Amino acid sequence: MVARGVLSFSGRPSIRSAAVAAGPLEKKKSRFAHLFDQFYDSELCGEETNEKAHSRMIEDACGLVLEKAEAMPADADFLLCGDLVNQMTPSNFAAANLHLPYIGLFSACATSVSSLIAAALLTEAGASRLTLAGSSSQHNAIERQFRYPIEYGFQKGPTAQWTVTAAGFAAVTPNEPGYPEIRHATVGRSVDYGLTDPLNMGAAMAPAAFDTLNRHLSGTGNTPDDYDAIITGDLGSVGSSLFRNMAKDEGIEVKRSKWRDAGEEFYGDDPSFFAGASGAGCSAAVYFSDVFKRLMDGEYRRVLLIATGALLSPLSFQQGDTIPCTAHSVELVMGEGGES
Amino acid sequence: MDQKTYSQLEQKMSPKVPLAGNLIRAFLTGGLICAIGQGIMYFYMYFFDFTEKTAGNPTVATLIFIVMLLTGFGKYKKIAQFGGAGSAVPVTGFGNAMISSAIEHRTEGYVLGVGGNMFKLAGSVIVFGVFAAFVVALIKTILVKFGVVGW
């Protein structure tokens, strides 16, 4: 620990491999589609229900990650993952089929990073040779969980975001040269700025993202210039510009080209997705495809991933509560040398 | 940045709902749905033995049947994204709320799933619709009783 909630991994666990499985809409519309590993012909992924399809996607993504790491399911020590369905049944069912020691994690859409942090800690403690970490979302199952039936007609405003159908997973192992290393991480606080609109989640999450960025920078002593990119999870176009404004206001100057947001970029500029993509699978799909590849290719040397999550439930917002949000960050370095 | 400054910034930066455009689109969509309804009503009056008073029921049933198909084929939500209140307020919006819930909960079976959830969204329309009708009927009864108006 270097500051409260800011972790430093001296053992430098590696991300040995990463894989993404995604739905049919993502195949057609996502600008990262060429980097994904598997697609399904329908949102149901050949299953009877959306929830089963969700589970299938998790299993398939885990299988792909293991395949890429040249490992068998029996080689993995832990499965750490989560989703947004009540009690995380899709993850639970996938875990049952994978027969791995499993802890379900809920950090809403920030689970992609919270699972990486937990995996890095297990690895650092010497308890794991390979841990599968990741998160996922399935559009239909999540819309039903949080909003209205899929076919119900209601007008979404310009701040709404679109839940992606995707599962992104990574295999975390003890340090292996030639693969991205997890150097630092910051566990997010639950930040509540009093916003209540569940159709403007980006704006609700931006303060949490800023809080974590600020704590990560002051905890590690890094400056934004040390990173090739700072990539938030699913703030979308509205939340991203708010986040950047907050950072600027507090004196954190970052070049526009270094600020990235998975949600804003996921479907390109297509206006039919409103402010962009969201969902636990959104950040996971981009981090574990595009970002991982850029690190492997040497295009990025050091990146900061800040996954954001809105910690609301349909009950809490119907009761008029505000939307508490969180953001977890992890710093990945394509390591060669000694400096931390 | 404190909460108050942030909420001001949020108000300033979040894109506004295009109110004027939405109103015009709602007017056109709602108007078109009602015009179609009127057409169906005339159809029943001219080709079948219905009067202006009795043609209402088959007209509503026909509209809901059309909406059922549109909802099932995934078209109604697209009309609603364009039309907003224009597609939500007419009986077609009621039908869509009912049918979309029925489709959504099919996986939980016919009794607890479809039956138990069909009126999850549309139920409040029925509750407040019936209650409003009761209040209006009460007022009219009182007014008739005191001779202010006649039936």
Asked if A298 and A157 sit in the same domain, the reply is no
Give chain A's largest Cα–Cα span.
Answer: 57
pLDDT of res. A253: 87
pLDDT in tens, A131-163: 999 999 999 999 999 999 999 999 999 999 999
Q: Point out the residue among B7, B93, B105 whose CB comes nearest to the CB of A194.
A: B7
Asked if A27 and A160 sit in the same domain, the reply is yes
pLDDT of res. B1: 83
Give the residue from A302, A274, A268, A306 showing the smallest Cα distance to A287: A306
Residue A336 above 70 pLDDT?
no
**Cβ–Cβ contacts within 10 Å for residue A145, how many?**
18
Average pLDDT of the segment spanning A174-197: 96
Residue A73 above 80 pLDDT?
yes
Rounded CA-CA distance A160/A228 in Å is 29
Average pLDDT of the segment spanning A1-21: 94
Count of structural domains, chain A: 2
CB atoms A151 and B104 under 8 Å = yes
Give the residue from A42, A127, A112, A75 showing the smallest Cα distance to A278: A112
Name every chain B residue with its beta carbon within 8 A of the beta carbon of A153.
71, 76-81, 87-88, 93, 96, 100
Q: Point out the residue among A49, A151, A207 whose CB comes nearest to the CB of B71.
A: A151
| Chain A residue set in contact with B, beta carbons under 8 Å | 48-50, 144, 148-159, 193-195, 200, 203, 207, 210, 238, 241-242, 245-246, 249-250, 275
- Residue span of the structural domain in which A279 resides: 180-334
The three-point CA angle A206-A4-A175 to 5° equals 90
Say if A321 falls within a structural domain. yes
Asked if A123 and A194 sit in the same domain, the reply is no
Residue A118 above 50 pLDDT?
yes
Name every chain B residue with its beta carbon within 8 A of the beta carbon of A250.
1
Choose the final residue of a domain: A151, A173, A195: A173
List chain B domain ranges: 17-120, 122-151
Name every chain B residue with its beta carbon within 8 A of the beta carbon of A200.
14
Going by pLDDT thresholds of 50, 70 and 90, the confidence category of residue A335 is confident
Residue A340 above 50 pLDDT?
no
Choose the final residue of a domain: A173, A204, A228: A173
Q: Are A179 and A296 in contact (CB under 8 A)?
A: yes
pLDDT of res. B151: 78
Choose the final residue of a domain: A173, A197, A230: A173
- Our CA-based measurement puts residue A308 at a distance from the nearest CA of chain B, in whole angstroms, of 17
Mutation for testing the B interface, residue in A152, A156, A205 having most B CBs under 10 Å: A152
Average pLDDT of the segment spanning A94-122: 97
Asked if A169 and A41 sit in the same domain, the reply is yes
Strands (E), chain A: 6-8, 14-22, 38-39, 78-82, 102-104, 131-137, 162-163, 166-173, 180-186, 229-232, 259-261, 277-278, 302-310, 325-334
Torsion region of A159: left, alpha or beta (phi above 0 gives left; psi -120 to 50 gives alpha):
alpha
CB atoms B100 and A148 under 8 Å = yes
pLDDT of res. A338: 47
Mutation for testing the B interface, residue in A154, A156, A272 having most B CBs under 10 Å: A154
Asked if A169 and A190 sit in the same domain, the reply is no
Asked if A56 and A86 sit in the same domain, the reply is yes
Average pLDDT of the segment spanning A53-66: 97
Domain at A273, CATH number: 3.40.47.40
Q: Are A235 and A261 in contact (CB under 8 A)?
A: yes
Q: Which string of DSSP letters, residue by residue, matches B109-123? A: -IIIIIIHHTTTTTH
Q: Are A228 and A302 in contact (CB under 8 A)?
A: yes
Asked if A17 and A35 sit in the same domain, the reply is yes
Asked if A159 and A296 sit in the same domain, the reply is no
pLDDT in tens, A194-231: 999 999 999 999 999 999 999 999 999 999 999 999 99
Asked if A185 and A102 sit in the same domain, the reply is no
Average pLDDT of the segment spanning A167-186: 97
Asked if A114 and A243 sit in the same domain, the reply is no
Q: Exposure pattern of B28-59 as b/e (b: 16+ CB <10 Å)?
A: ebbeebbebbeebbeebeeeeebeeeebeeeb
Name every chain B residue with its beta carbon within 8 A of the beta carbon of A154.
77, 80, 88
Say if A340 falls within a structural domain. no
Asked if A233 and A110 sit in the same domain, the reply is no
Say if A219 falls within a structural domain. yes
Contacts of B80 (CB under 8 A, 6+ apart): A153, A154, A155, B87, B88, B93, B96
Average pLDDT of the segment spanning A182-187: 97
Asked if A153 and A190 sit in the same domain, the reply is no
pLDDT in tens, A244-285: 999 999 999 888 899 999 999 999 999 999 999 999 999 999
For chain B of 151 residues, list the mean pLDDT of each consecutive stretch of 10: 92 92 97 97 95 94 97 96 95 96 96 95 94 97 91 78
